[in-house]
Structure 1
Amino acid sequence: MADAATPAELWRSARTRDPSRPFVTAYDDSGGRVELSYATVDNWVAKTANMLLDGLDAAPGERVALALPVHWQSIVWYLACWHTGLVAVPTDTHELPEADIVVTGPQQLTQALDSPAREIVATSLHPMGAPLPDCPPPAVDYATEVRSFGDQFTRPAGGTATGPALDWGGEHTTASGLVALGQERAQRWGLTPQDRVAIITSQYQSQYQSQYQSPTAPGTGIAWLLAAVTSASALVLVSDSNPGGLFGRLDMEHVTAFVDATPGQSVAVSDVRALT
């Protein structure tokens, strides 16, 4: 961990620690639950990285707009971008930034198709990774396309530690800068591999309010993702749309810490430390 120069190296260190451990447990608003181990997420990351390079002809330094809510698939896409040297560009519902590739769920698909992006990737955001019922061309359906690509990413990492890896509102952060952010937050929050960190989102946010504010702001998506990868912790993604159900899920999942990922909101959870 200390020698990692890029987020991809952070991920490889966390994955090799124990690939069978859960990395992401995600609930949808209906209460559906899916659990993905480090090995399973790594499989999705590898397939997505290979899809970016071989299916979408992406090149290091190109921009990938991620119009995605808090979801296990958004985690996969960030990690895949950082494995291939692409610049992840977080976005929200209001305006799609200039990008070579746009990845979006159903609600922004029409907007994405009107954008000048070279490639449009659509995802249903189904918890089990099911395809869209209807994917209009020229968009490609992520769930359908990604399965044909290799389960391992064996190429040299694209990009460099000093190259751009994230663009938020025109503010670029290098790969090494993201590593430093993850290490600083993991240390500040005292995270260890035994921690299970809940990311609490609102129902509105799950409908595409951007959770990715400035990457250096406490509690934002980039920070908690990088901190969890740095410390090899586990994540639990859960909505606060049903507060009674929320507290029960946090208890059932043995959550040790939580981040309230919704700007302007606050959730109090007794006996579980808040990460701020």
Structure 2
Amino acid sequence: MGELFTYYDDATGERTGLTAAELGGWSAATAALLTEGCGLEKGSRVAVLLPPHWQAAAVLLGAWSAGVEVSYRGWATAGLSPAGEALDATFVERRRIGNWLDEVPAGRHQFVLGLAPAGAPTPDVPEDYRDYPAEVRPYLGAAPPASPVGAEDLAVSDATFGEYEAVAGGVAEMYGIGPGDRVLLDAAGSEQPLMWLVAPLSVGASVVLCANLDRTRLDERVAAEGVTRVLGAP
């Protein structure tokens, strides 16, 4: 079975490839963590402060399938949560916590991600946070939600996932992405999951997401990965 989602970080040399079943497993585990582990229900509010990454994909897909409302910010936090508004859970990249430039919102359940290769545990977990890789692993192998909510019920910020997916289909068409395509994206130019996750997957394409892209290796990677479309990388 081919990989549905492939992640590169050229600064560290990481390459992580996930089949549809593997990405689905991480997503189902995240949904179980939220519903069984945290007791969240449809309409609960979750904030995701993660850069484009395969673990961010698992968190987003899992949260949507759990029926919670998702607010996403890859690099900026402004406007993520109105003042005084309670969040039920947050997923935050480790390097953002304690950074005076970032105002990280609080949640009843707070998860930190070091975004280490192979989903390794996060070192130096801050106080009042739980390590997402460690917390989600007991749920790996969990079945998807028994009664998945419809797309019209899933909220992404102020739009339903159904509306988000409809927009994604239009974006995919605009960039000529179709079923069976393998799409390489530069993470630096594709912050929103509409581009690096939902648009390709919504039309049956697979993703090669590259962080810290070394453009001198682009042609080599396109050939090695069987890429048919390149976005955000000249």
Shorter-chain TM-score bucket reads 0.7 to 0.9
Q: Residue 68 of structure 2 aligns to which amino acid in structure 1?
A: L
Q: Is the 8 A contact 1:93 1:108 kept in 2?
A: no
Residue 97 of structure 2 is aligned to residue 109 of structure 1: yes
Kept in 1, the 8 Å contact 2:45–2:69? The answer is yes
**Deviation of residue 189 (structure 1)?**
3.2
Give the structure 2 partner of residue 197 of structure 1.
Answer: 183
Determine if contact 1:238/1:246 at 8 Å carries over to the other structure: no
Per-residue CA deviations over 1:77-102 (Å, capped at 9, x if unaligned) read 11112101111111234447333211
- 2:137 and 2:106 mapped to 1: Cα distance? 26
Letter in 1 for 2:4: F
> Does 2:57 correspond to 1:61?
no
One-letter amino acid of the structure 2 residue matched with residue 162 of structure 1: E
**Distance across 2 between alignment mates of 1:137 and 1:239:** 28
Distance 1:113 1:54 in 2: 29
SS in 1 for 2:16: strand
Please say if 1:242 is aligned against 2:208. no
Residue 126 of structure 1, aligned match among 109, 112, 116: 116
Q: Secondary structure of the residue that 1:258 maps to in structure 2?
A: strand
Q: Which moved more, 1:24-33 or 1:48-57?
A: 24-33
8 Å CA contact 2:65, 2:145 repeated in 1: no
What is the letter of the counterpart of residue 104 of structure 1?
V
Which segment is superposed worse, 72-81 or 223-232? Answer: 223-232
For each residue in 1:197-236, what CA deviation from the matched residue of structure 2 results, as whole angstroms up to 9, or x when unmatched?
011123xx7xxxx812xxxxxxxx3144222222221100
Q: Distance in 1 between matches of 2:70 and 2:89?
A: 10
Amino acid at match of 2:148: A
Are positions 1:82 and 2:54 aligned together? no
Deviation at 1:191, TM superposition (A): 2.6
- In 2, Cα distance between the equivalents of 1:165 and 1:70? 19
* Cα deviation digits, residues 38-60 of structure 1 (max 9, x gap): 01000000101000101122121
How far the C-alpha of 1:164 sits from its partner, in A, is: 5.2
Match of 2:128 among 135, 138, 146: 138
Identity, in percent, stands at: 27
Q: TM-score, normalised by structure 1?
A: 0.73
Indicate the SS of the match to 1:74.
helix
Are positions 1:153 and 2:144 aligned together? yes
TM-score by length of 2: 0.85
1:183 to 136, 153, 169: 169
Cα distance per residue 1:232-270 (max 9 Å; x no partner)? 21100113542212332222212111221xxxxxx32xx
Matched residue of 2:35: which SS? helix
Q: CA offsets per residue over residues 3-55 of structure 1, 9 Å max, x none?
A: xxxxxxxxxxxxxxxxx331111111222211110010000001010001011
Q: Which amino acid aligns with 1:22?
A: E
Equivalent residue in structure 2 for 1:211, among 162, 187, 191: 191
**Aligned mates of 1:141, 1:25 — CA distance in 2:** 23
Q: Distance in 1 between matches of 2:213 and 2:140?
A: 37
Counterpart of 2:4 in structure 1 is 23
Alpha-carbon RMSD across the aligned residues, in angstroms, is 2.3
Distance 2:29 2:152 in 1: 25
CA apart distance, 1:65: 1.0
The residue that corresponds to 1:8 in the other structure is none
Provide structure 2 residue ranges, at least 5 long, that are not aligned to the other structure.
Answer: 82-86
> For 1:95-117, what per-residue CA distance to the aligned partner results, in whole angstroms no more than 9, with x for missing partners?
47333211011112336997431
Question: Distance between the aligned counterparts of 1:46 and 1:115, measured in 2?
Answer: 25
CA distance in 2, matches of 1:115, 1:224: 24
How many residues align structurally? 224
Is the 1:181–1:226 Cα contact (8 Å) retained in structure 2? no
Partner AA of 2:89 in structure 1: I
Structure 1 spans left out of the alignment, 5+ residues: 1-19, 213-220, 261-266, 269-276
Written as runs of structure 1 = structure 2, the 5 A alignment for 1:253-272 is 253-260=225-232, 267-268=233-234
Q: 1: distance between equivalents of 2:63 and 2:229?
A: 27
Q: Distance in 1 between matches of 2:64 and 2:178?
A: 23
Distance 2:46 2:119 in 1: 20
